[in-house]
Amino acid sequence: MTSDTRDAPEDIGVGRAAENDPDRNGEAGRNALVVVAHHRTDSLTTYTARRAAEQLQEAGYHVDELNLYSEGFDPRMTVEDEPDWDNREKTYSVEVESHMKRLLKADLVVAVFPIWWVHIPAILKGWIDRVWNYGLAYGRSQPRLAGKRMLWLALSSATDDFALDFIRSALDVSLNQGVAYYSGFDFSTVGLLPDSEEHRHRFTKDGTMYIDAASIGAERDEQYRQFHQRAKTTVDEFITATAPEAVSAQFRAGGRP
């Protein structure tokens, strides 16, 4: 199951830190990391990431835009990434150390990606595996990522409630509970963005999938107007959201003593 085959309205350059423009940068301590996981710079995913970065800048955040493909991130775990498992203060590989610094600097993290096989793309999974490593994301009684907030902005080709409920539930367990809260984040949410493809996908309760003809003309324009509005609303709500009063201590405790 894949999503996001539509071209973005314009070519955009996600994969760079925000320019040092005092009118666009916020005060110190308000930093956001926007991570995009798509191999095409003209994809709807990349365009959505750029718009999210602009919203964060307008809200007063310094934004570091990380395009995993454009920056040539290698998702494969190596021995250098875990030179001494028992040492939480170890030095990791040069690439991982640089990404750890960017993650630690961020107060907010927004990952933007297409849903593939009801999961995140392999390059984003590899980034989590390598960067959210022992000693940083877990393995401590006081997590180093504590106090941060996370938005998983996920593009889906599905359109009906049956499929979306299934996808949302799966991502909540694997990303909110299994990654963010386990790593000590104060708040994490999945922003599911359905109807991301011109060929709309519909599922019946018995699992049969139907693919509609591509939307064209005014119908297509309206489809993506609504998509962009959903994305904007999701990011706006995340920016203003506060951590829930009670998140299971099992997941908020982060690593281990």
- pLDDT of 256 reads 33
If you average pLDDT over each of 74-78, 102-106, 133-137, 229-233, which comes out highest?
102-106
Q: What angle do CA 155, 54, 245 make, to 5 degrees?
A: 70
pLDDT band at 39 (very low <50, low <70, confident <90, very high): very high
CATH 3.40.50.360 fits 27-251, yes or no: yes
pTM, two decimals, is 0.79
Here the tokens at position 239 are 């920016």
Max distance between CA atoms of the chain, in angstroms, equals: 59
For the chain, give percent helix, strand, coil, nearest 5.
35, 20, 45
Average pLDDT over residues 95-104: 97
Q: 84 exposed, middle or buried (CB, 10 Å; 0-12, 13-18, 19+)?
A: exposed
Average pLDDT over residues 235-257: 59
Q: pLDDT tens digits, residue range 61-99?
A: 999 999 999 999 999 998 888 767 778 888 899 999 999
| DSSP state string for 204-246 | -TTS-EEEPPPP-HHHHHHHHHHHHHHHHHHHHHHHH----S-
- pLDDT of 28 reads 53
- pLDDT of 161 reads 61
d(CA 147, CA 185): 6
- pLDDT of 210 reads 59
| Percent of the chain scoring above 70 in pLDDT | 69
Question: Does the pLDDT value for residue 54 go beyond 60?
Answer: yes
Q: pLDDT tens digits, residue range 135-179?
A: 999 988 888 999 999 999 999 866 566 677 888 999 999 999 999
Q: Are 48 and 193 spatial neighbours (Cβ–Cβ below 8 Å)?
A: yes
pLDDT band at 29 (very low <50, low <70, confident <90, very high): low
Q: pLDDT tens digits, residue range 180-198?
A: 999 999 999 999 987 656 5
- pLDDT of 163 reads 76
* Helix pair 94-105, 122-131: axis angle to 10 deg: 90
Q: Which of these ranges, 27-31, 54-58, 218-222, 245-249, has the smallest mean pLDDT?
A: 245-249
149-155 and 31-36: which strand pairing?
unpaired
Sign of CA dihedral 124, 130, 136, 140: positive
The residues facing 113 across adjacent strands are 154
pLDDT band at 209 (very low <50, low <70, confident <90, very high): low
Instruction: State which H helix or E strand residue 124 sits in.
Output: helix 122-131
| Percent of the chain scoring above 90 in pLDDT | 52
- pLDDT of 101 reads 97
Average pLDDT over residues 244-252: 44
Nearest CA-CA partner of 251 in 109, 146, 168: 146
Nearest CA-CA partner of 90 in 154, 147, 127, 133: 133
Cα 99 to Cα 14, 95, 149, 164, 234, distances in angstroms: 16, 7, 17, 32, 26
Q: How many residues does the chain have?
A: 257
- Which residues, 6 or more positions from 191, have their beta carbon under 8 angstroms from its beta carbon? 151, 152, 153, 154, 231, 234, 235, 238
